[in-house]
Amino acid sequence: MFVLEVGSVLTIGLILAVVIVVAAMLIWVERRLLSFWQERLGPNRVGWFGLLQVVADMIKIFTKEDWIPPFADRFSFVIAPAIIMSVVLLSFAVIPFAPNIGVVDSNVGVLFILAMASLGAYSVMLGGLSSDNKYALLGSLRAAAQMVSYEVFMGISLLGVVALSGSFNLRVIVEAQADGWYVIPQFAGFVIFLIAGIAESHRLPFDIPEAEQEICSGYHTEYSGMKFGMFFVAEYIGLVLVSSLITVLFFGGWLGPSFLPPIIWFAIKSSMFIAFFILLRAAIPRPRYDQLMNYGWLFLLPVSLLNLLVTGAIILSTQ
Amino acid sequence: MQVAQQAAPVAIQNPQLLARLRQDLGDRLLAEQQTCDGIPTLWVDRVHLKDLLRTLKDDSSPRFEMLFDVTAIDERLRTHRQGQPASEFTVVYHLMSFSGNCDFRIKVPLQDADLSLPSVIELWSSANWYERETWDMFGIKFEGHPNLTRIVLPPTWKGHALRKEHPARATEMEPFSLDDEQTAIEQEALLFKPEDWGMQRKSDTSEFMFLNLGPNHPSVHGAFRIALQLDGEIVVDSVPDIGYHHRGAEKMGERQSWHTFIPYTDRIDYLGGVMNNLPYVMAVEQMAGIIVPPRAQTIRVMLAEMFRLCSHLLFYGTFAQDVGQLSPIFYMFVERERIFNIIESICGARMHPGWFRIGGVAQDLPNGWETRIKELLDFMPERLDDYDGMVLNNGILKRRTQGIGVYNTEQAFDWGVTGAGLRATGLEWDFRKQRPYSGYENFDFDVPIAVNGDCYDRCAIRVEEMRQSLRIIKQCMDNMPGGHYKSDHPLTTPPRREKTLQDIETLINHFLSVSWGPVIPPSEATVAIEATKGINSYYLVSDGSTNSYRTRIRTPSFAHLQMIPAISNGFMVADLVAIIASIDFVMADVDR
């Protein structure tokens, strides 16, 4: 029960703790990295290099008044942030961090992740609708359209990997990459998954549901205190999740030369993608809502279908 | 105190046109007024106003394409009105010709008992807000105006603020109180009724959503509100609502002395700093007949161009930010900070130095001023090239801004658009080139233009203008003339140090110019400049006193905001944000 193996209480507890702490630390990391790239300092006052800023923020956000607007629909208003928080955390259940670290060894891991991503859309929709605020409504409209569309391309872009490895099990997918990472045969799939992943976690340049300059904060305009905090932290957990998934699906997960333990390889690879996402946020402007939709349906969808077709053809011809 | 000699009369513009009009109008012409700015000024009765304006707009040579300004003067307390027809309220129309590069002023006399005249909206769309403002401030009715309601003051305001009987300070009024009844009235006035804004609640196919963008919203650049009628995310109709930043700057101009109004002008376009001082002090100098020494002129140009850089940098950063790019604004602020440091070392203040004086500037340049400017000139061009790569050449930004918010030169004239917004339509017209002031004729610089008239072009022009400003600053640095930083004229305020404390005469002069302030001879003058956001002009009326009788501040942003519905209806909310960003306005400049 208290050994480090897949499914033990110790492992589950550790994963939960580490994921949440990492996500919270990411707030600080992102702020420091952004300011580093933007010729400023960022939070550097609290603790060593401002590391305790996260603690200060958390204390602030926990002690804030937990306010529900009188015009909001109470039940869905409260449940919305809880949904997003639980679905992103649940998604981590199937992530294979290392041969001996993980929550479950599921043979439908990929499908589970996609299912959780679809549920995430409800949170954003409910949050916006229940707020009874026009900006929130616009935000949740945009979010619903964006998430539902990008799930399609996300799913199709993964199928190439599934076809190559012959399994929905993420552990099998990692082990199948011992001879070579899937990023090479599945480069198109990787790029589409990356784009869809950003869209799913709605970060800049795909932060259209919460585009501050247009619709204030979009679907979470009316949220404050810890409910807002949950949306906020869930976004960072989502970022970790997408980075972990890219590592697992396309970059060989924990696989790497043996001078470092597998979990470290996993962490290094994931951190690279996290940093990439932050850099992307610093660099790129936001497309318009309809441009994003057109881009998805008219470009990403054909390309991902073509990718699947070609992968299938190659597999068939080499069998 | 020494009495100022009258200003040398400036040659009147367009004598041929004036002679023809004199003939055509015959006895319909009430009077012809001499003003010291050389702008032909004709008085006509209100019944002939529209015909005259139509003639000037359509069949005169040159044609006057733009209604530059409409305002009024409360003449009831004015002295020194020699040669002017009897009038209690005078409505002033200022026309501008771009083809002929000249102005025209028409005045219409009105009596307090019958304050009405025809609206000219059918001639120029821009007349709409100008007439509303004149009604708001003076209570003058414009017959045929579709929506003659308050524009800058709240709908519940009592009285008309620029009438002379209206107090200028809160301390001259009853103490403010808000009882329950009054609160209810104010609340009622705030209720949004789409019909009052000329909007329908539903069409045959859909029910519209009304979105209140502002007065507090991340992308409206200040306290500005647009009521939107949305069909999904498509803007069906939009109505700008201004006045949240109104401080009564024109009223203050009539209250302060000529000298003590200078710092208020800094805050009109609060990103333009001392560039706001320039049209004001030049107008006063024109009335006083002060010739500004070349050194002072060059210092003024140098600082004005530095503020142009600052303002354009802020525009550039916020423009990128409003289309969703996070980083550029931070880089631009670094640059802006450098320029502010230089400005601070010269003027002693950063954003609002209030540093120009009647007759020159406050102080001479400090020792070693060239060093820091040289650093800036070495540093900036490379950074501007970097920004091109980051912002202007970015594919997403191009797709967000090209073909959005397009208008052509004709529309720009119709709406009173000036500055970069006008040059983006392909018209090469820059005040600094066409009518050089403060020694701009001595500088070698180009006027960038673009042809598409969309959001992207308006940004690209300002970026190129920054490069030109750097050229001008370099030329200022290389060729800074010697001599005095202030004129020797007795109305220069305050006099130069060595012109004070010599004998009883200089002592009294100094004392009076500091305690009373200078007495400017009775006259009228309009002086316009190419400000950061377009053409900014000050129309000053003096009746020979220590303060202005009428200060009219015509700002570019006021006209530009009025155009928003015309160019953004039919686009999406995100496009509207890009359009707003591309206009480059600050609300203090709109509301004054």
Which tens digits make up the pLDDT trace of B267-296? 898 888 899 999 999 999 988 888 889 999
Q: How far is B217 from chain A (nearest CA, A)?
A: 7
B residues 272-331 near A, CB within 8 Å? 320-327, 330-331
Contact B394 A282 (CB under 8 A): no
A residues 139-168 near B, CB within 8 Å? none
Question: What is the average per-residue pLDDT within B209-216?
Answer: 83
Domain limits of chain A?
Answer: 67-318
Residues of B in contact with A207 (CB under 8 A): 324
Residue matched to tokens 């944000």: B577
In chain B, which residue's Cα lies nearest the Cα of A206? B324
Residues of A in contact with B573 (CB under 8 A): 138, 214-215
Contact B573 A204 (CB under 8 A): no
Contact B574 A288 (CB under 8 A): yes
**Which residues are registered as beta bridge partners of B542?**
B523
B166 Rama class: left (phi>0) / alpha (psi -120 to 50) / beta:
beta
Contact B217 A291 (CB under 8 A): no
Our measurement of the distance from residue B288's CA atom to the centroid of its chain's CA atoms, rounded to an integer in Å, reads 22
Instruction: Please give the DSSP secondary-structure letter assigned to residue B486.
Output: B
pLDDT higher than 90, residue B312: yes
B407-439 per-residue burial string, b: 16 or more CB within 10 A, e: under 16: bebebbbbbbbbbbbbbbbebebbbbeeeebbb
Q: Could you report the per-residue pLDDT of B411-448, keeping only the tens digit for each?
A: 899 999 998 889 999 888 888 888 888 888 889 899 99
CB contact B217 to A (< 8 Å): yes
Residue B295's φ and ψ, nearest 5 degrees, are -60, -45
CB contact B394 to A (< 8 Å): yes
The pLDDT-based confidence of B2 (bands split at 50, 70, 90) is very low
CB contact A136 to B (< 8 Å): no
Residues of A in contact with B400 (CB under 8 A): 285-288, 291
pLDDT higher than 70, residue B533: yes
Give the per-residue pLDDT at B200: 76
Q: Which residues contact B399 (CB under 8 A, 6 or more apart)?
A: A287, A288, A291
Give the per-residue pLDDT at B439: 87
- Asked if B237 and B198 count as a contact pair (C-beta separation under 8 A), the reply is yes
- Decide if domain B15-143 falls under CATH 3.40.50.720: no
Q: Is A105 exposed, middle or buried (0-12, 13-18, 19+ CB in 10 A)?
A: middle
Give the per-residue pLDDT at B3: 40
Nearest CB partner across the interface for A289, out of B321, B334, B572: B572
**Which residues are registered as beta bridge partners of B71?**
B92
CB contact A299 to B (< 8 Å): no
CB contact A69 to B (< 8 Å): no
Mutate to test the interface with B, among A33, A40, A206, A286 (most CBs of B within 10 A): A286
Q: Is B257 helix (H, G, I), strand (E, B) or coil?
A: strand
Residues of B in contact with A135 (CB under 8 A): 211
What is the sign, positive or negative, of the torsion defined by CA atoms of B337, B339, B343, B346? positive
pTM: 0.86
B389-405 per-residue burial string, b: 16 or more CB within 10 A, e: under 16: ebbbebebbebbbeebb
CB contact B572 to A (< 8 Å): yes
- Asked if B357 and B303 count as a contact pair (C-beta separation under 8 A), the reply is no
Nearest CB partner across the interface for B219, out of A207, A214, A287: A214
Q: Could you report the per-residue pLDDT of B9-30, keeping only the tens digit for each?
A: 566 777 777 777 777 777 777 7
Nearest CB partner across the interface for B324, out of A134, A205, A216: A205
Nearest CB partner across the interface for A38, out of B322, B327, B394: B327
Nearest CB partner across the interface for A38, out of B219, B324, B331: B331
A37 Rama class: left (phi>0) / alpha (psi -120 to 50) / beta:
alpha
Give the per-residue pLDDT at B4: 42
How far is residue A178's CA from residue A195's CA, in Å, rounded to a whole number? 25
Contact A214 B577 (CB under 8 A): yes
CA distances, A228 to each of B228, B326, B545 (Å) = 28, 22, 61
Give the per-residue pLDDT at B553: 92
HSE-up of residue B154 (Cα within 13 Å, Cβ side):
11
Q: Could you report the per-residue pLDDT of B314-353, keeping only the tens digit for each?
A: 999 999 888 888 888 888 898 899 899 999 999 888 889 9
Give the per-residue pLDDT at B462: 92
- Asked if B546 and B535 count as a contact pair (C-beta separation under 8 A), the reply is no
Nearest CB partner across the interface for B396, out of A138, A207, A287: A287
Q: Which of B548, B325, B292 is nearest to B439 (CA)?
A: B292
Helices A74-91, A225-250: inter-axial angle, 10-degree rounding? 30
Give the per-residue pLDDT at B492: 82
In chain B, which residue's Cα lies nearest the Cα of A279? B327
Residues of A in contact with B572 (CB under 8 A): 288-290
What is the sign, positive or negative, of the torsion defined by CA atoms of B297, B300, B301, B302? positive
Give the per-residue pLDDT at B216: 82
CATH 3.30.460.80 region(s) of chain B? 15-143
CB contact A37 to B (< 8 Å): yes
- Asked if B546 and B517 count as a contact pair (C-beta separation under 8 A), the reply is yes
Nearest CB partner across the interface for B399, out of A37, A284, A287: A287
ipTM: 0.82
Nearest CB partner across the interface for B209, out of A40, A134, A211: A134
* Average per-residue pLDDT for chain B: 87
CB contact A138 to B (< 8 Å): yes
How far is residue A127's CA from residue A219's CA, in Å, rounded to a whole number? 6
Nearest CB partner across the interface for A40, out of B211, B218, B330: B330
Contact B326 A34 (CB under 8 A): yes
DSSP string, B99-150: TTTEEEEEEEEEBTTB-EEE--TTT-TTHHHHHHHHHHHH--EEET-TT---
How far is residue B586's CA from residue B560's CA, in Å, rounded to a whole number? 11
How far is residue A192's CA from residue A207's CA, in Å, rounded to a whole number? 17
CB contact A38 to B (< 8 Å): yes
How far is residue B383's CA from residue B174's CA, in Å, rounded to a whole number? 55
Residue ranges in chain A assigned as alpha helix (H): 9-37, 53-63, 74-91, 109-131, 134-165, 170-176, 187-200, 212-215, 225-250, 262-283, 289-294, 301-318
Give the per-residue pLDDT at B6: 47
Mutate to test the interface with B, among A206, A208, A213 (most CBs of B within 10 A): A213
Q: Is the peptide bond before B9 cis (omega within 30 degrees of 0)?
A: no
Give the per-residue pLDDT at B508: 84
Q: Could you report the per-residue pLDDT of B220-249, keeping only the tens digit for each?
A: 787 888 888 888 788 888 888 888 889 889
How far is residue B11's CA from residue B20's CA, in Å, rounded to a whole number? 17
Residue segments in chain A with a per-residue pLDDT below the cut of 50: none
Please state the three-class secondary structure of B15-62 as a single string. Answer: HHHHHHHHHHHHHHEEEEECCCCCCCEEEECHHHHHHHHHHHHHCCCC
How far is residue B255's CA from residue B272's CA, in Å, rounded to a whole number? 23
Looking at domain B249-591, its CATH superfamily turns out to be Cytochrome-c3 Hydrogenase, chain B (1.10.645.10)
In chain A, which residue's Cα lies nearest the Cα of B333? A39
Nearest CB partner across the interface for A285, out of B217, B324, B575: B324
Q: Which of A86, A82, A22 is nearest to A54 (CA)?
A: A22
Question: What is the average per-residue pLDDT within B463-474?
Answer: 92
Residues of A in contact with B324 (CB under 8 A): 204-205, 207, 211, 213, 284-287
